[in-house]
Amino acid sequence: MAAWGWHSEVAIHVLRLVLSGALDRHPKLKLIIGHMGEGLAAMLVRSDKVLADDVNPTRSVGQTILDQVSITTSGLFTLPPFAVAVAVFGVDHVLFSIDYPYSTIGRAGISSMRSSCPPRNLKNCARECRSVAQAVVRTSSPS
């Protein structure tokens, strides 16, 4: 159960940071959270609607998160969550990472993720994919 609870707890913690005003008080603070945003990408619009009365009127919950949170791929290497992450957070806020030893990604996974990058951002995405691929080769090569 811990493997599932972790994601929910991180997402709730980020929401609490937003709702407490901590991110408004520290507008230069940047957070990086893993696992394609711990479900926040899929729930951002709903969070705006449900939590609208609990938030600073200058920025919505979603806008605060988009302004101050970047996410990593760690552990989720399939195209649907990647496509949602890029669509919601933008390719410049999706960082490639590996959740070793809990999960790994091979060259085929990197290639499929790379092919799903929007064409206008392919150069940035390809550079990131290439650096991940090089890291995978380094860590999986026998010493």
CATH annotation of 2-140 = 3.20.20.140
Return the top range by mean pLDDT from 30-34, 49-53, 106-110. 30-34
> Does the pLDDT value for residue 17 go beyond 70?
yes
Q: Single out the catalytic residue among 24, 48, 67, 99.
A: 99
Instruction: Give me the mean pLDDT over the 50-68 stretch.
Output: 86
Question: Would you list the domain boundaries of the chain?
Answer: 2-140
pLDDT band at 39 (very low <50, low <70, confident <90, very high): very high
Residue 41 CA: distances (Å) to CA of 49, 63, 64, 134: 14, 12, 13, 28
Residue 27 CA: distances (Å) to CA of 64, 100, 113: 9, 32, 31
The pLDDT value recorded for residue 22 is: 94
Which helix (H) or strand (E) element contains residue 71?
Answer: strand 69-72
Q: Is 29 helix (H, G, I), strand (E, B) or coil?
A: coil
The pLDDT value recorded for residue 19 is: 92
Q: Is 106 helix (H, G, I), strand (E, B) or coil?
A: coil
Average per-residue pLDDT in the chain? 79
pTM over 0.85: no
Number of other CB atoms surrounding residue 100 within 10 Å: 14
The pLDDT value recorded for residue 143 is: 47
The answer to whether the beta carbons of residues 105 and 139 sit under 8 Å apart is no
Question: pLDDT (tens digit, 9 = 90+) per residue, 124-135?
Answer: 655 555 554 455
The owner of tokens 């195209």 is 79
The pLDDT value recorded for residue 119 is: 59
Catalytic (active site) residue 99? yes
The pLDDT value recorded for residue 2 is: 67
Question: pLDDT (tens digit, 9 = 90+) per residue, 76-134?
Answer: 877 788 888 888 998 889 988 877 777 766 666 666 666 666 555 555 655 555 554 45
